[in-house]
Every structure is written in structure tokens, then in C-alpha cells.
Amino acid sequence: MSLSNRENNIRKIINLEDRIGSCNRCINTTPCVRKPSLGKGELEPELLVVFESESLGREEVITIRNRIRDGLNIDKIYHTYLVRCQPKVCTSRNNVSHYSFPKLIDNEDNCLLTGQACSGLPVPANYDEIIACMPYLIEEIQILNPKYVLLMGERVSMFVLKSLGYYDGITESCYEYENMKILVTADHNKFSDHHCQLLKININ
Ligand code: SF4
């Protein structure tokens, strides 16, 4: 019996998530990450949103998704991340950085060094971490094959566009990749109804 497109997507996304879940490419970051961030939403999406990392909270993600849904009249939305493991800076960790630990955080987000809630401060991922994680995002986009991919912010846009073969910087607000439209917009913390209106030009 052949699988439906949706069942195929579920199977492929589960396989991808298993690999992300056990990934240890960024050995300086993973000890302080309870589990990598995974994509969420409609598995046959019309629009796939890419955030830089899970540094924005759940409420902020919901607000942005609702703004897109209402502003662009698109219901089938999936969101995901450029980098799955949020890097942090932490003085407790720095004091023991010459040791190597597989995990320094428990299932309740408590630090195993201090016995208290993790106090690490989120910082942007560096070039190596972004490049290490990029194949997961490209694979996820290809599996879900949305009509639109929405890149939130300049860093996300620059790295993703280069990976898709656009090397000349961000010169447009819309690019073509295979059968998809790749849309560039503001960073998640600046994204407004005005940006939604601008996106409408490239939505048909
Ligand atoms: S950030 Fe990405 S590449 Fe790095 S360890 Fe996490 S899942 Fe792997």
C-alpha cells in the first residue's frame, strides 16, 4: 500500500528529528542544551517560517504565526530553526571548561554544576555552528516542499540564501528555489503588520 504525501512527510521528519536529537556536532554547545529545537506545525505546509534559534519564547512564536495567518490568509504554517541548539554564555561552565561533559543540564533545565536553574544567557550561534546545522534545515525544507519559505531576519536570510546558491547578499525580497518562493523579512522581534503587508506582494 502506498503512503500518502502526509504520511511520507511524517516518516521523513521523524527520521530527521531522530538524527537531530542525537547530533553532537557542536560539542561546546550541546552539554547545556536539554534537547535540540525541532520544527512544529502543519506537515503539508503552504508556508514554512525559519527563525534563527529558539531564543524567542513560545508566546512570541504564536504571535508571529497568528500575524502571518491573519495578514497573509495562510493557515497551513510550519516553523523551524536555523540552529537547533541555542548557544549560551555561562560563568559556571567557564570555570570547568577544561573538562568535557556529555550533559550539564537535567530534564528540568537545572544545571548539574550548581544544582540550580540554568542561568546561561542565550547568544547568537557562530559561523561554524550555523554551517554545521544548515543541512538539517535544507533537508527539512526539501521534505516539506512548501510553496513559500519565510526567512526571519538578515542573518537567517543571508545564510539560507547562500546555501541555496544566492551569493550576492540580500538584494531582493523574494527568490525562486525549485518550485518554492523564498521570502525575506524582518527579524522576529521587529516583524509587524507592516512587514506582513509587504510580503503580500509576493504571495499569490
Ligand atoms: S546545533 Fe545543530 S549541528 Fe550543532 S549539535 Fe545541535 S543539532 Fe547538531
Mean of pLDDT values over 62-82: 97
By CB neighbour count within 10 A (0-12 exposed, 13-18 middle, 19+ buried), where does 189 fall? Answer: exposed
Please name the amino acid found at residue 147.
K
Same domain flag for 70 and 38: yes
Final residue before a domain boundary, out of 122, 141, 176 = 122
Ligand 1 site, CB within 6 A: 20, 23-26, 30, 36, 83-85, 129, 132-133
Same domain flag for 23 and 111: no
Q: So what's the pLDDT on residue 98?
A: 57
Q: What spacing in Å lies between the alpha carbon of 132 and ligand 1's midpoint?
A: 6
Same domain flag for 155 and 75: yes
* CATH code for the domain in which residue 21 is found: 3.40.470.10
Q: What spacing in Å lies between the alpha carbon of 76 and ligand 1's midpoint?
A: 27
Query: Long-range contacts of range 12-16, CB-CB < 8 Å, 24 or more positions apart?
Result: 12/143, 13/39, 13/43, 13/140, 13/143, 13/144, 16/136, 16/139, 16/140, 16/143
Same domain flag for 147 and 158: yes
Residue-wise pLDDT tens digits, 120-130: 999 999 999 99
Ligand 1 pocket: which of 17, 18, 19, 25 to mutate (most atoms <8 Å of CB)?
A: 25
User: In a 3-state reduction of DSSP, which class is residue 48?
Assistant: strand
Mean of pLDDT values over 144-173: 95
Same domain flag for 19 and 41: yes
Give the closest residue (by CA) to ligand 1 atom 4. Answer: 26
Mean of pLDDT values over 135-141: 98
Final residue before a domain boundary, out of 102, 122, 142 = 122
| Proportion of the chain above pLDDT 70, given as a percent | 97
Same domain flag for 165 and 71: yes
Residue-wise pLDDT tens digits, 82-109: 999 999 998 888 777 556 677 889 999 8
pTM exceeds 0.85 for this model: yes
pLDDT band at residue 49 under the 50/70/90 scheme: very high
Question: Count of domains in the chain?
Answer: 2
Same domain flag for 140 and 68: yes
Same domain flag for 83 and 116: no
- Tell me the pairing of strands 174-177 and 47-51: unpaired
Give the closest residue (by CA) to ligand 1 atom 6. Answer: 85
Final residue before a domain boundary, out of 100, 122, 144 = 122
Give the closest residue (by CA) to ligand 1 atom 1. Answer: 85
- For residue 27, the ligand 1 atom closest to its alpha carbon is 5
Same domain flag for 116 and 146: no
Mean of pLDDT values over 16-24: 96
- For residue 25, the ligand 1 atom closest to its alpha carbon is 5
Q: What spacing in Å lies between the alpha carbon of 194 and ligand 1's midpoint?
A: 33
* Full residue range of the structural domain in which residue 75 is found: 5-87+125-200
Q: So what's the pLDDT on residue 97?
A: 59
Same domain flag for 21 and 50: yes
Please name the amino acid found at residue 80.
T
Q: So what's the pLDDT on residue 2?
A: 72
Q: For 130, left (φ over 0), alpha (ψ -120 to 50), or beta?
A: alpha
Same domain flag for 51 and 135: yes
Taking 60 as the threshold, does the pLDDT of residue 140 lie above it? Answer: yes
Same domain flag for 177 and 115: no
Residue-wise pLDDT tens digits, 163-181: 999 998 888 899 999 999 9
Q: So what's the pLDDT on residue 204?
A: 79
